[in-house]
A and B are shown apart, each in its own frame.
Chain A
């Protein structure tokens, strides 16, 4: 009896392995059917330390999630992303519990390496068809891990440049180079421009800009153009002018908290803020994502003109998900333009 049992066991194991392999194949096949692995958009968050990259990501996710419900869409994320962003959000909201007239913004943020936040977008109750991967990392990577950042800049379809607006606007911008490091940001594109052969969307996102909108919007836009002049020159060069779409989308991540003053400590200008109201009420934080989706849709419509590997999934994608296409068409109509500091800088045909 024992040999029979051993033989049975071996046979059972072989069958089991075969079945599990078949299961894997089925999963892969299913993956191909929904095409989710191909429908990936990678977004690089570009900005030095403490300009607000993670806060931007948090409020963008939160506000877009609400908006997507109105359009019968769902924006989902894995449990880790959801829980971490919820904690960041709680932290942002806690700023309103500050009892002082002026205060600094203590926030929870990345202190080690990089993190990829993955969101999936699609019709409610259906398998999400579009995957958005936001790559966030420590601000000092711009100096200490330049090869890593350059690689992400080259490979990302969308690059979100976060700008600390008070550094740009206050005291004639004397802190701008120290905080926003526009030349350092420019260098990544200068080094990587030969490898950018396909379209890219560059979003300049001024953050902590509540104080300047709407009254000083034009001044803010002019200062961004001036500060990033050398970068914009690269974008408008013969090599890149037909590939880069660029837009300024000011983002008010908190709404009712405004820049108050700089206080000098140890020779460093420390920013202080003040509350205008006790409610967390972000403004326009969903706009960068609106522009991203509009860019994808317009690339899809423009697809026949060029062959672009990075966006090859767009050829069939919107045909397979009519609902998402309709929703993005609606969203496109809500992209703000030429007011409150919103301005398309180049690549109008895709924006």
Chain B
């Protein structure tokens, strides 16, 4: 278990633009998390977004666009934080729970935003900010209070509704809660299979991203305000209908030849 946390933020000065850093061995280091480009490809990173992904046997939770309360750049523009937690795949349950907590928090009191905001402060170093990395890593182990208060469903209920196909929908509080439920209650075995199947992006929650990108990247669950359906769209459904149609067409053609042969 080798947990690592990366933060992207900016400083006050014109030369302190957004930079990813990590804190390791008592030192800050400029470094981006692995797989960042692919994760950002399927979200609008300047807006609040959540991505859960797996890469090289690691599990990654990326959260972007977290507005800070008081930190601004020299131009008066509000600074936004992004954060990525990375660990080995064995910790996937903790990552799912934290993702669910952050999703629920985004539609309630945004306490986690404040918590992260408190962990990132202006500083006089190269990047213009410093991070309390331990405070951010601790989030993985903290009791998930928001979830208990906001998801009044049981494991059995979610099992009944569970859909193993890829699904996308418009980003709204109902779908966010359902997604959080799935992340919490979906058992490790099922989730393990999803990870094997996708081997990349598992969930993506964002503001403005076209559904084509979710389809292109085979996202297991995608929520975006540019998806035009409030209800889940089952992406495998269309594919299944297409296969069924082709099978039917094949049967008709064969029957046509069989009848022709029988008649002659």
Chain A residues near B (Cβ < 8 Å): 4-5, 7-13, 15-16, 48-50, 78-80, 83-84, 87, 103-113, 138-140, 143-144, 178-179, 265-266, 268-271
Q: CA separation between A104 and B78, bound complex, in Å?
A: 11
> Is B18's CB under 8 angstroms from A111's CB?
yes
- 35-78 of chain B: CB within 8 A of chain A: 37, 40, 44-46, 64-65, 72-78
* Distance from B218 Cβ to chain A, minimum over Cβ atoms (Å): 19
Given A84-B44, A104-B76, A111-B45, residue A12 in contact with residue B248 (CB < 8 A)? yes
- 192-238 of chain B: CB within 8 A of chain A: 208-210, 225-226
> Is A8's CB under 8 angstroms from B253's CB?
yes
> Is A79's CB under 8 angstroms from B226's CB?
yes
* Distance from A197 Cβ to chain B, minimum over Cβ atoms (Å): 30
> Is A80's CB under 8 angstroms from B76's CB?
no
| Residue numbers in B under 8 Å from A49 (CB-CB) | 14-15, 17
Given A11-B253, A83-B208, residue A271 in contact with residue B246 (CB < 8 A)? no
Q: CA separation between A269 and B74, bound complex, in Å?
A: 7
| Residue numbers in A under 8 Å from B250 (CB-CB) | 8-13, 15-16
> Is B76's CB under 8 angstroms from A270's CB?
yes
> Is B17's CB under 8 angstroms from A140's CB?
yes
| Residue numbers in A under 8 Å from B247 (CB-CB) | 8-9, 12-13
| Residue numbers in B under 8 Å from A5 (CB-CB) | 251
> Is A107's CB under 8 angstroms from B45's CB?
no
Q: CA separation between A106 and B248, bound complex, in Å?
A: 59
| Residue numbers in A under 8 Å from B119 (CB-CB) | none
Q: Is B172 in the interface zone, CB < 8 Å from A?
A: no
Name the residue of chain A whose CB is nearest to the CB of B226.
A79
> Is B249's CB under 8 angstroms from A111's CB?
no
Q: Is B13 in the interface zone, CB < 8 Å from A?
A: yes
* Distance from B256 Cβ to chain A, minimum over Cβ atoms (Å): 10
> Is A111's CB under 8 angstroms from B75's CB?
no
> Is A104's CB under 8 angstroms from B75's CB?
yes
Given A12-B248, A84-B44, residue A178 in contact with residue B37 (CB < 8 A)? no
Known interface pairs A16-B249, A49-B15, A80-B209; 13 further A-B residue pairs with C-beta atoms within 8 A, sorted by A's residue number? A5-B251, A12-B250, A12-B251, A13-B246, A50-B77, A79-B210, A83-B208, A109-B46, A112-B18, A140-B15, A140-B18, A268-B13, A270-B74
Name the residue of chain B whose CB is nearest to the CB of A110.
B46
Q: CA separation between A5 and B14, bound complex, in Å?
A: 69
Given A111-B45, A112-B40, A268-B12, residue A105 in contact with residue B249 (CB < 8 A)? no
Main SS of the interface on chain A? mixed
Name the residue of chain A whose CB is nearest to the CB of B18.
A111
* Distance from B100 Cβ to chain A, minimum over Cβ atoms (Å): 24
* Distance from B17 Cβ to chain A, minimum over Cβ atoms (Å): 3
| Residue numbers in A under 8 Å from B145 (CB-CB) | none
> Is B249's CB under 8 angstroms from A15's CB?
yes
| Residue numbers in B under 8 Å from A144 (CB-CB) | 19
* Distance from B91 Cβ to chain A, minimum over Cβ atoms (Å): 25
| Residue numbers in A under 8 Å from B22 (CB-CB) | none
Q: CA separation between A49 and B14, bound complex, in Å?
A: 6
Given A9-B247, A112-B46, A113-B40, residue A15 in contact with residue B14 (CB < 8 A)? no
Q: CA separation between A112 and B84, bound complex, in Å?
A: 14
29 contacts between A and B (CB under 8 A): A8-B251, A10-B250, A11-B250, A11-B253, A11-B254, A12-B246, A12-B251, A15-B246, A16-B242, A48-B14, A49-B15, A50-B75, A80-B226, A84-B44, A87-B208, A103-B76, A105-B75, A105-B77, A106-B76, A111-B10, A111-B18, A111-B65, A111-B82, A138-B17, A138-B18, A140-B17, A270-B74, A270-B76, A271-B75
| Residue numbers in A under 8 Å from B74 (CB-CB) | 50, 265, 268-271
| Residue numbers in B under 8 Å from A268 (CB-CB) | 12-14, 74
| Residue numbers in B under 8 Å from A109 (CB-CB) | 46, 77
* Distance from B84 Cβ to chain A, minimum over Cβ atoms (Å): 12
Q: Is B27 in the interface zone, CB < 8 Å from A?
A: no
> Residues 17-30 of chain B: 1 if any A CB is under 8 Å from the residue's CB, otherwise 0?
11100000000000
| Residue numbers in A under 8 Å from B10 (CB-CB) | 111
Q: Which one, B40, B210, B242, contacts A80 given CB within 8 A?
A: B210
Q: CA separation between A113 and B40, bound complex, in Å?
A: 8
Rank and list the top 3 A-B pairs by shortest CB-CB distance, nearest first.
A12-B250, A104-B76, A140-B17
Which of B14, B37, B65, B82 neighbours the largest number of chain A CB atoms within 10 Å of its CB? B14
Q: CA separation between A321 and B14, bound complex, in Å?
A: 45
Name the residue of chain B whose CB is nearest to the CB of A180.
B14
| Residue numbers in B under 8 Å from A15 (CB-CB) | 246, 249-250, 253
Q: CA separation between A140 and B226, bound complex, in Å?
A: 29
* Distance from B178 Cβ to chain A, minimum over Cβ atoms (Å): 24
| Residue numbers in A under 8 Å from B190 (CB-CB) | none
Which of B72, B210, B246, B258 neighbours the largest number of chain A CB atoms within 10 Å of its CB? B246
Q: CA separation between A308 and B129, bound complex, in Å?
A: 48
> Is B75's CB under 8 angstroms from A12's CB?
no
| Residue numbers in B under 8 Å from A11 (CB-CB) | 250, 253-254
Q: CA separation between A55 and B38, bound complex, in Å?
A: 26
Q: Is B166 in the interface zone, CB < 8 Å from A?
A: no
> Is B246's CB under 8 angstroms from A80's CB?
no
Q: Is B80 in the interface zone, CB < 8 Å from A?
A: yes
